[in-house]
A = this chain, B = another copy of it.
């Protein structure tokens, strides 16, 4: 590889994204260089594109976005033994420090010093190449596609939701919000052996996709009475675990009313407003558990294992594919076409798009 420049999509300020030549990064000790074949557009990418910030993270200088990716290892730094050039890999995009109390106790997703792709000021991977510490790379089995590899990132959120919610086949699960996270949480629930999964979203296309992806039934939260419908669908047995991935204020408030006494609620979707009212008396009377969820930890390897041998089809969430040169169009589509698009994929190395 003698090439020294690559194409990358650089966000200069809100709405100003351009594809330009930048240096190909060089893997340092313990790092690998990955040729990026498939990388998703995430809601957070779109949010930075629109608003230039998310909460305490602010885009103060030009940044490369993108953090849901798979590709090939093309070069490794000194001391790398777990991967070699030529390996097809998925990339876990947040590198934890490994030394703090959170890291040492198995919750590295809470590491205060994590270096997470596409979280300002850390560059992401909407680019032909990217480097990362090699322990964040996971080899893809032969029968797993780059698309599946890239989707491991949002799937990991669903997988982590199952772990947080202590979900087992004994549960009856309700998923509110059927964007990529909600739909992949459904797939995660199926991987965990859940056989009764109910789901709601205001968008008909999303409910239909959820049906195709195997939920037991969907509910239209506008035109149907959620509570009564759940009772009816479960034969009165009710819901034991709610996965809230819509971020919608009303949906969040309703989780407490929806779940059985002794049930569990996993909150995934971040609302626009910070303060959301919950019925605390019902939460206490029902001895309900509410678990916040932030990213994921220790999910890539088990998700690959579960995915490679199951007949769950996660690629159904991909609704659009673009070359890196079309990044502006891709992000605009993700931003505006919420009724018809779920996951938009970018192919920085065009040959894979054309396959």
The chain A residues found within 8 Å of chain B, CB to CB, are 55, 96-110, 133, 135, 162-164, 168-170, 172, 190-193, 195-196, 216, 252-253, 261-262, 267-268, 270-271, 274-294, 297-298, 301-302, 305-306, 308-310
Contacts and interface: CB of A to CB of B under 8 A. Distances in A.
Given A252-B280, A289-B290, 7 more contacts: A107-B262, A163-B168, A169-B302, A193-B193, A196-B309, A216-B309, A286-B292
Given A101-B298, A192-B193, A288 B280 contact: no
24 contacts: A97-B98, A98-B99, A100-B135, A101-B298, A104-B106, A105-B297, A164-B287, A169-B305, A170-B301, A170-B302, A172-B305, A193-B193, A196-B305, A252-B280, A261-B294, A274-B279, A275-B277, A275-B278, A275-B280, A277-B277, A277-B278, A287-B293, A288-B292, A290-B291
Given A284-B294, A292-B289, A298-B105, A195 B277 contact: no
B283 A290 contact: yes
A164 B287 CA distance: 9
Contacts of A133: 99
Contacts of A193: 169, 190-193, 306, 310
Contact of A278 (B102, B276, B305): B276
Contact of A277 (B276, B290, B294, B301): B276
A110 B285 CA distance: 9
A296 to B, nearest CB: 10
Which of A107, A287, A291 lies at the interface centre, i.e. has the most chain B CB atoms within 10 A of its CB?
A287
Contact of A281 (B105, B135, B172, B274): B274
Which of A109, A163, A268, A292 lies at the interface centre, i.e. has the most chain B CB atoms within 10 A of its CB?
A292
Contacts of A298: 101, 104-105
A192 B169 contact: yes
A338 to B, nearest CB: 21
A253 to B, nearest CB: 8
Contact of A305 (B170, B262, B292, B297): B170
Contact of A294 (B97, B110, B170, B286): B286
Contact of A106 (B106, B162, B277): B106
A98 B133 CA distance: 12
Nearest to A308: B195
Contacts of A277: 275-278
Nearest to A279: B274
A280 to B, nearest CB: 5
B195 A168 contact: no
A292 B284 contact: yes
Nearest to A280: B276
Contact of A195 (B110, B275, B292, B309): B309
A343 to B, nearest CB: 21
Contacts of A276: 277-278, 280
Contacts of A191: 169, 193
Nearest to A285: B294
A287 B279 CA distance: 20
B102 A262 contact: yes
